[in-house]
């Protein structure tokens, strides 16, 4: 893997900073619930098919009273893409060398009234450079107020940069987080964007604001719902919904495919899978 240039290093530093802020907030929520759960961090290295060191990452996981399973992964990898897979990646058909740095987070909650959530943002370099990512809310038992608050925060982050962002990226999330064989959406949406090229500073600032918006709104929703009473039938709904979530991530999610096809850490790639799920 080649040394990082200034843009790649700046993006990696932000993703690591965001990880630290999110993990500290999640640990604080566990402490408020009377739990001493903390994140455990596991470093990993990637071997590039070329034989050179291909970068790596740090996988953080926590299993507690509120967060049944949450994973926060930051990775910075690079090398040479497989020629066939490279044809599917923006800018890699001309030259298979790549660098990718980003943060990926998935939280599955103990209380079925607390929405699960996914968030990731990333910066990729091939012969082109672009940001991508987003955040989406995945409640087994949706509550309109939670959905509205989550979307309002994402809209505010978008509107601070371009009034066209939110309607475009919301629609993109609705289209992307859809399970065709079930004909249902994975959750209640959020925003999703990719191939955001051009002005690095502008696109980097937007990506940072998406991370800050997530950090602002999701802990509020967790604290709002984490003490709600629930019944066995609520857990049954949650576990069936988790099965749908797993189906999407294993069959359709591009991030899962990218990680597996570029030799990423298996545990980090599959951290998105729920701890317990059911299928009829």
Catalytic positions, written as ranges: 118
Q: CA torsion 180→211→1→61, rounded to 10°? A: -80
Which of 195, 196, 188, 137 is closest to 162 using CA atoms? 196
Contact 150, 119 (CB under 8 A): no
Please list, residue by residue across 66-75, b when 16 or more beta carbons sit within 10 angstroms of its beta carbon and e when fewer do: bbbbbbbbbb
* Residue 157: its H or E element: helix 144-159
Report residue 144 CA to chain centroid gap: 22
Tokens of 9: 């290093």
- Please give the Cα distance from 122 to 131 (Å, whole number): 6
CA atoms within a 13 Å half-sphere pointing along the CA-CB vector of 272: 26
The tokens of 71 are what? 């994973």
Q: Note whether 135 and 210 are within 8 A (CB).
A: yes
Which residue is it, tokens 């990680």? 259
CA 18 to chain centre: 12
């Amino acid at each position: 893997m080649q040394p990082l240039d200034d843009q790649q290093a700046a993006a990696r530093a932000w993703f690591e900073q965001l990880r630290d802020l999110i993990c500290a907030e999640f640990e604080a929520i566990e402490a408020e619930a009377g739990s001493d759960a903390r994140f455990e961090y596991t470093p990993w290295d990637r071997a590039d098919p070329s034989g050179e060191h291909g970068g790596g990452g740090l996988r953080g996981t926590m299993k507690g009273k509120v967060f049944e399973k949450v994973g926060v992964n930051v990775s910075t990898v690079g090398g040479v893409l497989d020629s066939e897979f490279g044809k599917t990646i923006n800018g890699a058909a001309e030259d298979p060398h790549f660098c990718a740095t980003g943060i990926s987070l998935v939280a599955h909650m103990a209380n079925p009234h607390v929405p699960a959530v996914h968030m990731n943002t990333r910066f990729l370099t091939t012969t082109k450079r672009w940001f991508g990512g987003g955040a989406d809310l995945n409640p087994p038992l949706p509550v309109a107020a939670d959905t509205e608050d989550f979307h309002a925060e994402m809209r505010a982050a978008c509107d601070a940069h371009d009034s066209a962002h939110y309607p475009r990226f919301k629609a993109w999330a609705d289209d992307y987080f859809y399970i065709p064989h079930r004909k249902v959406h994975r959750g209640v949406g959020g925003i999703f964007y990719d191939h955001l090229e051009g002005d690095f500073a502008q696109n980097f600032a937007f990506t940072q604001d998406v991370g800050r918006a997530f950090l602002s709104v999701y802990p509020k929703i967790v604290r709002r719902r984490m003490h709600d009473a629930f019944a066995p039938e609520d857990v049954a709904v949650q576990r069936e919904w988790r099965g749908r979530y797993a189906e999407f991530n294993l069959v359709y999610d591009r991030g899962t495919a990218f990680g597996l096809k570029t030799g990423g850490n298996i545990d980090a790639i599959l951290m998105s899978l729920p701890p317990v799920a059911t299928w009829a």
